[in-house]
Chain A
């Protein structure tokens, strides 16, 4: 406000509160101003301070109150606390720079300008069924020296790579956590190399309203907000939506042994789920659990999301360990959780995407049963598991695969395919290249004796564990990667690809690289040339999906001909046309989409025929006949050598024999009929 700044903080159980002001960077406070009692409104301490230089001050709060852990109170007035609503957080301005551990106030609030000129930019409102999501880490995307960026690992550098994303064809980026976090949390030396392991992924929030300073080239000027907004604006200009990975299940404060940064000292009992004895429930596996269904915390979460939507024009959110958001303060799962209901019906959030990772670390697995209120989509873990097993050649999966490629109507019958975010890989687990190169995880570099990370990877190394020169193994791995991409991109639902899967990025078999700020995680841009064949295939599949509305339905298939075209919207085949082999031993499935039924009959498209042969030997597939005057052309054949493995939309060659095609072992053929 003109010439004055309004400071406000909520605490139900605090008795006194003091505002502490610093000159930027000074270890000692400039002045401490107690909130006068007469300025307290209910549980909120509030006052306006005049004559402050917004650019040069940092601030925090001291709160006095009971110290009685068994009742849930852990007030400590000797600590200076970060404002939970801080729009800017300083103290970690340069990524990785060792902090001054003697500084009593590590993460400091500062003020930002909110006068960014968005011109005519708004969230894009791309229909959910048309999204193609690229899950990525801001730093990892450009930190590698090969990126050629002036400021590697930043929002600014990401912006410079937008042409790459456009060429790839994705229309949505999902960013791993960009809210301020402490990369030095849990830092320790790598047992093998001695280098420091950091909190690289960032699933540990310090400031819910502040973009991570260490991800900004202009953080030294406190301009990370402008830099991020400029990035979002430019992504939108290029037709790319922005989804943020948000972590409301826990905070960086850990349990009673963790640091006191803000919530614990402001109102511990309100913000955290506590046991009757006053210890911290740990449904997140990280030390504490945010008390999401407490009305104050619910307001914080809603305020936070509304803030990012309105101030940063964010298009959607993916909620980490979202099952926690449906737990009561006692930890019990709720059938009608107030927070999830509020988010689903919130007016400001009304058109943004809501995606849940519908499980937590406490055993609550809710894929298909997450309280969705008709709005929430889910990371479909069942898609991942079934398709990975099918890919590696397991038998008995044809029935389940037929459900997964339809957008999982067996799970989301009343919701439609858009409830299902499909993926083979994400940041958790193997990269796509490693999924086909390793049978087991190799996480020794994490320093936990290879005990961390999941063991149910459903991966297959194609005949050798890890690096090899064998041309047969390498060729099979390449083909398997293409198979996965092809399957993902012709499935109904919302496909999600992990950063680097289009380039064959490897993490050397490590399936839990949360702590590596190194080449293990950084995208190596030299792969654009080295793996040009794979990149070309990935681009072709993505552009194929964009060109064919039949692949992007909002409703489930009915498996009937309701448009009178002579074909049902989807039909099933095997090596014989019109006759799929659903038996337990079958590893073969084909399906055909009728173009007249595209998008529930509201769009027209070519017919699309997909033949999937996960058997080890070549098989001849009899192709269903098209109506007179129409012919099959070949979009992709993963069994063929590049450049014959795919074509760009519009360039598909005619299929020589219209009645039959030999599909190689572990290969997929995709035809279009027009």
Chain B
């Protein structure tokens, strides 16, 4: 696994090549420690990540929380549709901000912050006993 860090438009762009699993996750975390400062803006480019394990997913989540706690922003780009599937199926997708490409990621970083709060937006619990009004036309 290799990791490249560069700065583009005041954002830190971290490119990961190879596996993101229990062994490599701590390496990535320690490499990013410096970039994680209050108000930081980070793009994680994962288009060359060929394997993402359970530990890797959890690292992404922790990173997300860590950066949110610093009032920073992190966007993940370049995920394959298989990986996005996995994130959706295991419930992790809702917590992460995903964009298709690096350019879109950089654009998203500079946009308004409020969108991030949608992650935690619980849809209202369905009223268990009332008939669903949408079903009248059945």
Contact = CB atoms under 8 A, between A and B. Distances in A.
A506 B52 CA distance: 42
A217 B91 contact: no
A151 B89 contact: yes
Contacts of A217: 85-86, 89
A218 B90 contact: yes
B107 interface: no
A218 B89 contact: yes
Contacts, number: 103
Interface stretch (A166-174, A465-473, A493-501, A658-666): A166-174
B136 A651 contact: yes
Contacts of B89: 151, 154-156, 159, 217-218, 223, 227, 230
Given A648-B136, A651-B136, A169 B131 contact: yes
A55 B88 CA distance: 20
Contacts of B131: 169, 543, 546-547, 648-650
Contacts of B57: 223
Contacts of B22: 53-56
A166 B61 CA distance: 30
Nearest to B126: A239
Contacts of B8: none
A266 interface: no
Interface in B41-61: 52-55, 57-58, 61
A113 B62 CA distance: 14
Interface in A255-294: none
B135 to A, nearest CB: 6
A234 to B, nearest CB: 8
B94 to A, nearest CB: 9
A661 to B, nearest CB: 24
A226 to B, nearest CB: 4
Contacts of A218: 86, 89-90
B40 to A, nearest CB: 23
A193 interface: no
B132 A169 contact: yes
Interface stretch (A93-101, A115-123, A181-189, A443-451): A115-123
A648 B130 CA distance: 12
Nearest to A167: B135
Contacts of B86: 217-218, 221, 223
A239 B135 contact: no
Nearest to B127: A239
A650 B132 CA distance: 11
Nearest to A53: B22
Nearest to A544: B131
A237 B90 contact: no
Contacts of A227: 89-91
B132 A543 contact: yes
Interface residues of B, number: 32
* A contact residues, range: 35 or more
Interface stretch (B9-17, B72-80, B117-125): B117-125
B96 to A, nearest CB: 12
A21 to B, nearest CB: 16
Which applies to chain A's interface (DSSP): helix, strand, loop or mixed?
Answer: loop
Contacts of A126: 128
A536 to B, nearest CB: 5
A560 interface: no
B91 A546 contact: no
Given A217-B89, A227-B89, A166 B132 contact: yes
A130 B128 contact: yes
Contact of B126 (A166, A226, A648): A166
Contacts of B135: 167, 169, 539, 543, 648
B80 to A, nearest CB: 14
A314 to B, nearest CB: 16
B92 to A, nearest CB: 8
B128 A226 contact: no
A300 interface: no
Given A55-B21, A156-B89, A169-B132, A119 B54 contact: no
A539 B138 contact: yes
Nearest to B137: A648
Interface in A615-637: none
A221 B129 contact: no
Interface string B92-136: 100100000000000000000000000010110111111110011
B91 A230 contact: yes
Given A226-B90, A233-B91, A536-B138, A167 B132 contact: yes
Given A239-B126, A546-B131, A230 B90 contact: yes
Contacts of B55: 54-55, 113
A223 B90 contact: yes
A12 interface: no
A229 B91 CA distance: 8
A37 interface: no
Given A218-B86, A536-B138, A226 B91 contact: yes
Contact of B53 (A221, A230, A543): A221
A156 B89 CA distance: 5
A532 B86 CA distance: 34
A650 B136 contact: yes
Residue of B21, B22, B86, B90 contacting most chain A CB atoms (<10 Å)? B90
A70 interface: no
A156 B85 CA distance: 10
Contacts of B138: 167, 536, 539-540, 648
B125 A239 contact: yes
Interface string A145-182: 00000110011100100000011010100000000000
A238 interface: yes
B122 A237 contact: yes
Nearest to A126: B128
Contact of B54 (A226, A238, A650): A226
A595 interface: no
Interface of A: 53-56, 113, 115-117, 119-120, 124, 126, 130, 150-151, 154-156, 159, 166-167, 169, 171, 217-218, 221-223, 226-227, 229-230, 233, 236-239, 536, 539-540, 543, 546-547, 549, 648-651
Interface of B: 21-23, 52-55, 57-58, 61, 85-86, 88-92, 95, 120, 122-123, 125-132, 135-136, 138
18 contacts: A53-B22, A53-B23, A54-B55, A56-B22, A120-B122, A124-B128, A126-B128, A167-B132, A169-B131, A223-B57, A223-B89, A227-B90, A227-B91, A233-B91, A237-B125, A237-B126, A539-B138, A546-B128
* 3 A-B pairs with the lowest CB-CB distances in the bound complex, closest first: A230-B91, A239-B126, A156-B89
Given A223-B90, A237-B123, A648-B138, 9 more contacts: A113-B55, A117-B91, A166-B126, A166-B132, A167-B132, A221-B54, A221-B86, A226-B54, A540-B138
